[in-house]
């Protein structure tokens, strides 16, 4: 079984019929990580920690099930990596920050528990931007991640390690988190599939919080069917997360068999303006042509407040971050500055030593936006515009079943190219943040390459809690590309 | 919206104090520059008249009656397992196993 072509169903079937064992599949993936992830290999730097004991114990359990001829669960023997903003006992949870260096969490995130209960073999923890703040994975305290498709370029962020590990064949699927584009953008940059489920669809218990009204957990995979299988395992109510919905979970796997003929696809004018790379525009247009050929009706729509999404996002996300990150103070977990004489000095020095520049910048911006005299002008205003942005989508979804648009204005850029100017980096999120603010589901599916071979992704957005339609459109794009 | 003439050096220091961040002498002007650039971009929200538009704090409230967790029913008050105290305390920088230990609270 070749690693790159490994799929969830391929591995499950192989383990079931005895042509492979979960243990040998796990060892193959660890061998590839050992060869290529470190500085002596390709230096991709996607894994921060390996959970070999836990993975091999789980693989042995799956192999025992298979030997008895018992039915195997959906992810039996599938090697999966976990973004290091989710807790997993036995491995450190650092959020790629020095302030949590070596922190051993005392419980598993619900998403981690669900994957393991479905038979997944959890290989380890994946690099990301510090506290999931970034669009290039260059804000990690443990070094940047290289894009497996172009080693001198960024994998995107913040879930850069999660996208790179799947693209490099280190894992068959992975978990990421997406607050303003952190699953969809790296998926596009690395040429893999990334899904942002509807807000409330997947539990966030055990996710280290960045911006609580925006944070979501979702999967990466090499193809749309695998992403649907991952989502079917992850989705559903969790009593440990009050924001997690009790709505019935759709049958994402069966949805893959339903044709897209007759679906109405919206194309928002605001996503095709100045600044969109012409090669990306052409690739999206080819994807739309293939949907038209598959019997979809393509309609022009408008999402008039789109240009306000970035300023709205950077007020709300930083305000919430400044509150969430106040818990990192040297008292209960992680780093504590040495030699401090008083409590308040301990807070300040611990946070100064533990947080990187981008995290400090966002905490300062958020604290400013929430401070006396500015609250109404910034935070309240942004929350009002968030209502307008969400109404745009609610109105659009009365006319169309799904929306197709670019996810990034440009393909992946060179490491170090955009680190000097934080605002320039923020503007890269132009096509991803509106779906985050509105809480709708969205995904990125590979739809082509630039002339120099850099991956291009297309974004498919669906109504709240209608992941089935989104996934069907994603599969149609993927199938047409062949 | 607020005056976007600019955040002063003193305001950066004041916000850093509120956020319990110690900034180095080199960090202060850099942060001042970055905050001003970002705030100038954010100022475009002023173009929109939002009078009468409700503030959206979370996604659920936009879905109206369709959204479930209204709090109308409370969960049963039953004891469930919680995280092991020993494991929690073991992750603390300084602890006697029962409490978190910190430096002096009152400064003189």
Give the helix/strand (H/E) hosting B30.
helix B27-42
Nearest Cα to Cα of residue A86 among A111, A59, A116, A114:
A111
Distance CA B28, CA B9 (A): 7
Of A312, A336, A348, A353, give the one whose Cα is nearest residue A141. A353
Helices A467-481 and A224-234, packing angle to 10 deg: 160
State percent of chain A over pLDDT 70.
Answer: 99
pLDDT of B71 = 61
Residues A422, B38: C-beta atoms closer than 8 Å: yes
Please give the residue of chain A at the shortest CA–CA distance from B104. Answer: A342
What is the reported pLDDT for A459?
98
**Interchain CB distance below 8 Å, B55 and A426:** no
How confident is the model at residue A1, as a pLDDT?
37
How many beta-carbon contacts under 8 Å exist across A and B?
183
* Residue ranges of E strands in B1-108: none
Q: Which of B20, B50, B60 sits opposite A385 (nearest CB)?
A: B50
Distance CA A463, CA A448 (A): 25
Residues in chain B with CB shorter than 8 Å from the CB of A388 are 48, 50, 53
- The separation between CA A264 and the C-alpha centre of its own chain, rounded to angstroms, equals 27
Nearest to A213 among B38, B57, B104 (CB): B57
Q: How far is CA A353 from CA A12, A345, B20, in A?
A: 46, 12, 12
CA distance A110 to A206: 7
Provide, as residue numbers in chain A, all residues whose Cβ is less than 8 Å from the Cβ of B50: 381, 384-385, 388
Domain span at residue B43 reads: 1-47
Q: Is the pLDDT of residue A5 over 80?
A: no
Find the mean pLDDT for residues A379-392: 97
Please work out, in degrees rounded to the nearest 5, the angle formed at the alpha carbon of residue A17 by the alpha carbons of A11 and A20. Answer: 50
What is the domain count for chain B? Answer: 1
C-beta atoms of A314 and B42 within 8 A: yes
pTM, entire model: 0.96
The shortest CB-CB distance from B21 to any of A352, A422, A426 is to A352
Is A15's pLDDT higher than 80? yes
Q: Which of A139, A337, A340, A364 to mutate to test the interface with B (most CBs of B within 10 A)?
A: A364
Give A-chain residues touching B23 at CB under 8 angstroms. Answer: 352, 360
Asked if the structure places residue B9 within a domain, the reply is yes
CA-closest candidate to residue A334, choices A343, A321, A325 = A325
What's the CA gap between B33 and B46, in Å, rounded?
21
Looking at residue B88, the DSSP 8-state letter turns out to be H
pLDDT tens digits along A52-91: 999 999 999 999 999 999 999 999 999 999 999 999 999 9
Lookup result for tokens 């290989």? A123
Q: Which residues contact A407 (CB under 8 A, 6 or more apart)?
A: A181, A184, A185, A187, A188, A431, A432, A444, A457, A458, A459
Helix, strand, or coil (residue A412): coil
Q: What element of type H or E holds A122?
A: strand A121-126
From the candidates A368, A393, A395, A442, which should be mutated to test the interface with B, based on the most B CB atoms within 10 A? A368
Residue B83 inside a domain? The answer is no
Q: Do A386 and B56 touch (CB under 8 A)?
A: yes
Report the percent of chain A where pLDDT is more than 90. Answer: 97
Angle at A192 between CA A191 and CA A194, to 5 degrees: 130
Q: Where are the domains of chain A?
A: 8-255
Mean pLDDT of A236-255: 94
Instruction: Establish if B63 belongs to a structural domain.
Output: no
Answer whether residue B70 is part of any domain. Answer: no
Is residue B8 included in any domain, yes or no? Answer: yes
For the annotated catalytic residues of A, the residue numbers are: 83, 158, 182
Compute the half-sphere exposure of residue A15: CA atoms within 13 Å on the CB side of its CA: 34
Q: What is the pLDDT of residues A351-380, one digit of tens each?
A: 999 999 999 999 999 999 999 889 999 999
Tens-place pLDDT, residues A300-329: 999 999 999 999 999 999 999 999 999 999
At residue A3, the pLDDT reads 43
Q: Which residues of A touch B67 (CB under 8 A)?
A: 245
Q: Which of A245, A331, A352 has the CB atom closest to B68's CB atom? A: A245
Q: What is the mean pLDDT of residues A412-424?
A: 94
Q: Which of B12, B18, B41 sits opposite A311 (nearest CB)?
A: B41
Strand partners, A216: A178
Please report where in the chains the tokens 């807790």 appear, as a residue: A87
How far away is chain A from the Cα of B71, in angstroms, using its nearest Cα? 10
Is-contact A439 A202, C-beta < 8 A?
Answer: no
* B77 within a domain of the structure (yes/no): no
CA distance A289 to A34: 42
Which pair of tokens denotes residue A45?
């730097």
Q: What angle do CA A165, A424, A457 make, to 5 degrees?
A: 40
CATH superfamily of A8-255: Amidase signature (AS) domain (3.90.1300.10)
Number of H helices and E strands in chain A, helices first, is 17, 11
Q: Which residues of A touch B1 (CB under 8 A)?
A: 377-378, 381
DSSP code at position A215: -
DSSP for A243-302, please give it. Answer: TS--SPPP-HHHHTTS--TT-EEEEEGGGGSTT--HHHHHHHHHHHHHHHHTTPEEEEE-
Question: Which residues of chain A make contact with B91, given a CB cutoff of 8 A?
Answer: 103-106, 332-334
Whether B35 is covered by a domain: the verdict is: yes
Could B62 and A242 be called an inter-chain contact, meaning their C-beta atoms sit closer than 8 Å?
A: no
Quickly state the pLDDT bin for B105 (edges 50, 70, 90).
Answer: confident
Q: Do A383 and B56 touch (CB under 8 A)?
A: yes
Distance CA A480, CA A101 (A): 45
Q: Is A101 helix (H, G, I), strand (E, B) or coil?
A: coil
């Amino acid at each position: 079984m070749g690693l790159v072509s490994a799929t969830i169903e391929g591995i499950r079937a192989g383990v079931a019929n005895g042509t492979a064992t979960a243990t040998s599949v796990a060892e193959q993936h660890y061998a590839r990580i050992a060869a290529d992830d470190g500085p002596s290999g390709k230096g991709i730097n996607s894994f921060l920690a390996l959970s070999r004991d836990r993975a091999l114990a789980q693989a042995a359990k799956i192999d025992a099930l298979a030997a008895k001829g018992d039915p195997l669960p959906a992810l039996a023997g599938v090697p999966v990596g976990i973004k290091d903003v989710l807790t997993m006992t036995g491995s450190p949870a650092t959020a790629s920050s020095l302030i949590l260096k070596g922190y051993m969490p005392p419980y598993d995130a619900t998403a981690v528990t669900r994957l393991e209960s479905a038979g997944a073999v959890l290989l380890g923890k994946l690099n990301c931007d510090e506290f999931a703040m970034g669009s290039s994975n260059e804000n990690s305290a443990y070094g940047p991640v290289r894009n497996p498709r172009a080693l001198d370029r960024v994998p995107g962020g913040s879930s850069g390690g999660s996208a790179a590990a799947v693209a490099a064949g280190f894992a068959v699927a992975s978990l990421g988190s997406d607050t303003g584009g952190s699953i969809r953008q790296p998926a596009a940059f690395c040429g893999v599939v990334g899904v942002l489920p509807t807000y409330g669809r997947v539990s966030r218990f055990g996710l280290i919080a960045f911006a609580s009204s925006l944070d979501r957990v979702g999967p990466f995979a090499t193809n749309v069917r695998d992403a649907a299988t991952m989502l079917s395992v992850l989705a559903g109510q969790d009593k440990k997360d009050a924001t997690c919905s009790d709505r019935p979970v759709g049958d994402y796997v069966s949805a893959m068999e339903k044709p897209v003929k007759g679906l109405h696809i919206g194309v928002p004018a605001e996503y095709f303006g100045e600044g969109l790379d012409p090669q990306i525009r052409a690739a999206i247009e080819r994807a739309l042509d293939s949907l038209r050929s598959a019997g979809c009706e393509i309609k022009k729509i408008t999402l008039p407040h789109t240009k306000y999404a970035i300023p709205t996002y950077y007020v709300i996300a930083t305000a919430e971050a400044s509150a969430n990150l106040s818990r990192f103070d040297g008292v209960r977990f992680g780093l504590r500055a040495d030699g401090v004489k008083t409590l308040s000095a301990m807070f300040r020095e611990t946070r100064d030593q533990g947080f990187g520049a981008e995290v400090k910048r966002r905490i300062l911006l958020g604290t400013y936006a929430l401070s006396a005299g500015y609250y109404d002008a910034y935070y309240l205003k942004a929350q009002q515009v968030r209502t307008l942005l969400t109404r745009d989508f609610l109105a659009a979804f009365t006319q169309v079943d799904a929306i197709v648009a670019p996810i990034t204005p440009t393909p992946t850029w060179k490491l170090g190219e955009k680190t000097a100017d934080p605002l320039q980096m923020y503007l890269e999120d132009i096509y991803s943040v509106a779906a985050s603010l509105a809480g709708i589901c969205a995904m990125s599916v590979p739809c082509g390459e630039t002339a120099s071979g850099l991956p291009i992704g297309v974004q498919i957005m669906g109504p709240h809690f209608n992941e089935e339609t989104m996934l069907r459109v994603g599969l149609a794009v993927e199938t047409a590309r062949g | 919206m607020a005056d976007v003439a600019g955040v002063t050096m003193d305001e950066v220091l004041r916000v850093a104090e509120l956020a319990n961040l110690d900034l180095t002498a080199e960090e202060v002007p850099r942060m001042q520059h970055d905050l001003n650039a970002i705030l100038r971009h954010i100022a475009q929200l002023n173009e929109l008249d939002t009078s009468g538009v409700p503030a959206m704090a979370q996604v659920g409230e936009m879905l109206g009656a369709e959204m479930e967790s209204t709090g109308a029913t409370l969960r049963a008050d039953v004891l469930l397992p919680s995280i092991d105290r020993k494991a929690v305390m073991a992750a603390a920088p300084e602890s006697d196993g029962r409490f978190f230990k910190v430096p002096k609270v009152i400064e003189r």
